[in-house]
Chains A and B, each alone.
Chain A
Amino acid sequence: MTDPQKQDPRKAKLLSIIPGLGQFYNHQVLKGSIFLVLFLAFVAELALAGVRQIVNLITLGSTPMMDNSLFMMIEGTLQILVLVVAIILYAANIYDAGNIAKQANEGKQPSTSLVQMIKNIGDGGFPYLFSIPAYFLMLFIIVFPVLVTLFIAFSNYDFLHVPPAHLLDWVGFKNFTSLFFLSSYRQTFNAVFGWTIIWTVVATTLQLFLGIFTAIVANQDFIKFKRAFGVIFLLPWAVPAFISIMSFSNIFNDSAGAINVQVIPFFNKILPFLHMSLPAWKTDPFWTKIAIIMIQGWLGFPYIYVMVTGILQAIPEDLYEAATLDGASAIQKFNHITAPTIFTVAAPIFITQYTGNFNNFSMIYLFNSGGPGDVGGGAGGTDILISWIYKLTTGQSPQYSIAAAVTLLISVIVIGVSMIVFKKTGAFDLGDD
Chain B
Amino acid sequence: MARRQKKINEKSAIRNRRVKHFFTYLYMVILAIIIIYPLLITVSSAFKQGNVQSFTLDFNSKWTLINFKRLFTETLYGTWYKNTVIIAFFTMLIQVAVITLAGYVYSRYRFIGRRFSLMFFIIIQMVPTMAALTAFYVMANMLNALDHYWFLTLIYIGGGIPMNTWLMKGYFDSVPYDLDESAKLDGAGNFRVFWQIVLPLVKPMIAVQALWAFMGPFGDYIMSKFLLRSDEHLTVAVGLQQFITNTRDQQVVLFAAGAILIALPISILFFYLQKYFTSGLLSGSTKG
> Which residues on A are within 8 Å of B, measured CB to CB?
70-71, 73-74, 122-123, 126-128, 130-131, 133-135, 137-138, 140-146, 148-149, 152, 157, 214, 217-218, 220, 222-223, 229, 231-244, 246-251, 253, 256-258, 261-262, 298, 306-307, 309-311, 345-346, 348-349, 355, 359, 361-362, 365-366, 369, 386, 389-390, 393-394, 400, 403-404, 407, 410-411, 414-415, 418-419, 422, 426-432
Instruction: Enumerate chain B residues within 8 angstroms of A418, measured Cβ to Cβ.
Output: 122, 126
B183 contacts across to A, CB distance below 8 A: none
Between A and B, 30 residue pairs with Cβ closer than 8 Å are A74-B139, A126-B109, A127-B106, A127-B109, A131-B106, A134-B165, A135-B117, A137-B157, A141-B158, A217-B28, A233-B31, A234-B271, A235-B36, A247-B39, A250-B252, A251-B55, A257-B56, A307-B278, A346-B286, A359-B128, A359-B130, A365-B221, A369-B245, A393-B137, A411-B131, A414-B126, A418-B122, A418-B126, A419-B123, A430-B115
Closest to B189 in A: A122
Which residues 185-227 in B have Cβ within 8 Å of A in the complex? 189-191, 215, 218-219, 221-222, 226
Please measure, in the bound complex, the distance between the C-alpha atom of A143 and the C-alpha atom of B129, giving whole angstroms. Answer: 10
Chain B residues closer than 8 Å to A138, beta-carbon distance: 124, 158, 161-162
B105 adjacent to A127 (CB under 8 Å): yes
Q: Who on chain B is nearest to A226 by CB?
A: B28
| Contact among B24, B119, B278 with A217 in the assembled complex (CB-CB below 8 Å) | B24
A298-B35, A428-B119 known; A403 vs B111 contact (CB < 8 Å): no
Q: Are A261's CB and B54's CB within 8 A?
A: yes
Minimum CB distance partner of A224 in chain B: B25
User: Is there contact, CB below 8 Å, between A307 and B282?
Assistant: yes
Are B190 and A126 within 8 A (Cβ)? yes
Known: A127-B105, A131-B101. A429 touches B288 (CB 8 A): yes
At the interface, yes or no: B287 with Cβ under 8 Å from chain A?
yes
Q: Within the assembled complex, what's the spacing in Å between the Cα atoms of A193 and B271? A: 38
User: Measured between C-beta atoms, what is the minimum distance from B162 to chain A in Å?
Assistant: 7
Closest A residue to B191 by beta carbon equals A122
On whether the beta carbons of B132 and A74 are closer than 8 Å, the reply is no
DSSP majority for the A interface?
helix
How many chain B residues have a CB neighbour from A under 8 Å? 98
A240 contacts B282, CB within 8 Å? no
A235 neighbours in B (Cβ, 8 Å)? 35-36, 39, 267
A404 closest partner in B (C-beta)? B134
- Please report the C-alpha to C-alpha distance between residue A111 and residue B220 in the assembled complex, in whole angstroms: 50
Contact A126 B105 (CB under 8 A): yes
Contact call A386/B130, Cβ cutoff below 8 A: yes
Please tell me if the beta carbons of B31 and A238 are within 8 angstroms of each other in the complex: no
Contacts known (A220-B24, A362-B222, A393-B133); A431 close to B57, Cβ less than 8 A: no
B285 contact from A142, A348, A369, A411, Cβ within 8 A:
A348
| In the complex, the 7 A-B pairs of residues with the closest C-beta atoms, listed nearest first | A141-B158, A145-B132, A145-B135, A310-B278, A148-B135, A134-B102, A250-B55
B278 and A309 contact, CB distance less than 8 A: yes
Inter-chain contacts of B137 with A (CB < 8 A): 393
Q: How far is the CA of A430 from the CA of B162 in the complex (A)?
A: 15
Beyond the given pairs A70-B138, A138-B124, 8 more chain A to chain B contacts, judged by CB atoms under 8 angstroms and listed by A's residue number, are A122-B191, A133-B101, A134-B165, A135-B117, A142-B124, A142-B159, A238-B271, A298-B38
